[in-house]
Amino acid sequence: MESLTLFGRPPVPETIAITGASRGIGRALAIEYADAGRTLFLSARKRERLQDTAEDCRAFGAAVETAVVDVTDADAVRSWLLDAEAVKPIDLLIANAGVSSGTGPNREPETEAGLQKLFDVNFQGVVNTIQPIMPLMAERKRGQIALITSAAGYRGVPQSPGYAASKAAARVYGEGLRAYLAEDGVFITVVSPGYVETDMSGRLAGPRPFLISAEKAARIIRRGLAAGRGDIVFPFAFRLVPLAVSLLPARFGDRLLRRYPYGIAEDK
């Protein structure tokens, strides 16, 4: 489900920067946007996998520049993005990099270190990515920023309380920026996917209802961004389920969510 557009449509982006582009949704988005005449600035932590993505994008005619960057390093992210801006102003910035964590298979609690990493990457990493480019887009009255969060950010889940909280923080941050930057002509879109076939989701215990491929997710996101949507939630059921659970008394909603198996492998 995609929200109604509040103001116009953004221009077709000629220059796109994507974090976490070496795998999953980030890689799929890079390839989805890899058209002739388009410039892609791609970053990730793993050089080899990032280069694989870059070569695939170049095969479709895109000009590609890569950088090995950890989004928790604010100075490194700023330097990468401002260097990219000096080459060609960024039309679309996609803050995609993220990690997962959760409770253990025997209900072992999330560790303090694991929780800190979740917020360092999933929230502060998004802030680090957006802050250098946001004022430049506002100054030129043109640009679009997408925050890749998660449908898990709409309701705390016992299998991964910290992950859900980190994604909720990023979602709410994006919603605030969306209203704040509207009069500056900068489009902000909060993207909240459900289960997508990625390395990250493959580490989850239990079923993954309404699972879709990363390639299909990228197509949905691209369509929503082109339409200037304020938020993109998919599949449709992942808009309805958190709403339905929120309408139940808390103890009943919690009981339903506890039915899912526990256990998730740490992100590497």
Distance CA 18, CA 149 (A): 14
Distance CA 195, CA 214 (A): 9
Note the residue count of the chain: 268
Distance CA 76, CA 64 (A): 19
Q: How many angstroms separate the most distant Cα atoms in the chain?
A: 54
Catalytic residue among 33, 163, 173, 195: 163
Closest CA to 92 of 59, 53, 133, 123: 133
DSSP E strands, the chain = 15-18, 39-44, 63-68, 92-95, 143-148, 186-193, 196-197, 212-213, 231-234
Are the beta carbons of 45 and 19 closer than 8 angstroms?
Answer: no
Residue showing tokens 């920026």: 177
Residue showing tokens 């990032």: 50
Contacts of 195 (CB under 8 A, 6+ apart): 201, 208, 209, 210, 211, 212
Distance CA 190, CA 145 (A): 9
Q: How far does CA 202 lie from the centroid of its chain?
A: 17
Q: Is 163 tagged catalytic?
A: yes
Structure tokens at 18: 């994507």
Active site residues: 163
